[in-house]
């Protein structure tokens, strides 16, 4: 590609090219899915959340390609400690409104936009020894989703054999599926690297590769569990509805058990 610059050289699973002639972005890689383009279009058409405009998307030879507009701004991670109190409040207020807006969107299934497999973190880990790769979902109900979590736990075990101490965790996961809670739209990877802030400061949301409909607890858990910056961790409590401590503890235990044998 002529006049193109790789602006994500640190990424191992995808490349992000700035096509300088057209001032557009090409995101491509084996883990780039059409569902990401569908998610950005869905959010753009259903909310006022600023996301990149999608011009085209396709998959070929096992590689996904998304052409989109270039979002202006610097990653929140780079400026988190330089924002003054008023700027921080502005950014926090915008993020809170954006998240509330997309979490108000309901789906009749649990999975990626377009009735595709779930990209929730619980379903993305390596399988146990002698177990094949697989996808999970989409699921029609919260109960089915939680049964999928149990399936993922079993699939993470060598030869698909549950450990004796898995029984208590499984029972708690199934109780999480009690009732008929609605699926809500979640970004699923809300980190300071995926939030761009310009000089105003106005916020734009990027990287919706794992977005989709899920249990509402997902958004807070995935953001909080992966937060490594104390300032960002504190912001999460203000911008995403907090979940009960026992639910957070359950999902944290599940996430750790899913990688007990694979490490990833």
Q: Are 29 and 83 members of one domain?
A: no
Q: Report pLDDT for 21.
A: 76
Q: Domains in the chain: how many in total? A: 2
pLDDT band at 20 (very low <50, low <70, confident <90, very high): confident
Q: What's 58's domain CATH number?
A: 3.30.200.20
* Domain housing 49: 4-69
Per this entry, what is the length of the chain?
A: 264
CATH code of residue 133: 3.90.1200
Residue 27 confidence (pLDDT) above 60: yes
Q: Are residues 63 and 126 in the same domain?
A: no
pLDDT tens figures, 55-97: 999 999 999 999 999 999 999 999 999 999 999 999 999 999 9
Please check whether residues 236 and 169 belong to one and the same domain. yes
Residue 129 shares a structural domain with residue 35: no
* Per-residue pLDDT tens digits for 141-152: 999 999 999 999
Give per-residue pLDDT as tens, 153-188.
999 999 999 998 999 999 999 999 887 789 999 999
Residues 41 and 82 in one domain: no
Model confidence at 19, in pLDDT bands (50, 70, 90)?
A: confident
105 and 166 inside one domain: yes
């Amino acid at each position: 590609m002529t006049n193109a610059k790789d602006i994500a050289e640190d990424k191992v699973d995808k490349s992000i090219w700035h096509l300088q002639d057209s001032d557009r972005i090409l995101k491509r890689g084996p883990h780039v899915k059409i569902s990401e383009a569908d998610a950005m279009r869905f959010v753009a058409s259903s909310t006022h959340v600023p996301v990149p405009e999608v011009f085209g998307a396709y998959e070929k030879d096992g590689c996904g390609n998304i052409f989109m507009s270039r979002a202006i701004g610097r990653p929140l991670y780079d400026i988190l400690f330089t924002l003054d109190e008023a700027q921080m409040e502005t950014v926090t207020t915008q993020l809170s409104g954006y998240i509330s807006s997309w979490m108000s969107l309901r789906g009749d299934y649990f999975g990626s936009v377009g009735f595709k497999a779930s990209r929730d973190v619980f379903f993305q880990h390596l399988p146990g020894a002698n177990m094949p790769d697989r996808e999970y979902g989409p699921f029609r109900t919260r109960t089915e989703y939680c049964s999928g979590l149990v399936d993922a736990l079993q699939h993470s075990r060598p030869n698909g054999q549950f450990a004796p101490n898995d029984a208590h965790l499984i029972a708690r996961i199934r109780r999480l599926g009690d009732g008929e809670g609605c699926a809500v739209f979640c970004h699923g990877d809300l980190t300071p690297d995926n939030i761009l802030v310009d000089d105003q400061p106005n916020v734009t949301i990027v990287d919706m590769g794992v977005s989709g409909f899920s249990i509402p607890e997902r958004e807070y858990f995935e953001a909080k569990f992966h937060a490594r910056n104390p300032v960002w961790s504190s912001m999460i409590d203000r911008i995403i509805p907090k979940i009960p401590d026992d639910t957070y503890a359950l999902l944290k235990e599940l996430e750790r058990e899913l990688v007990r044998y694979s490490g990833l």
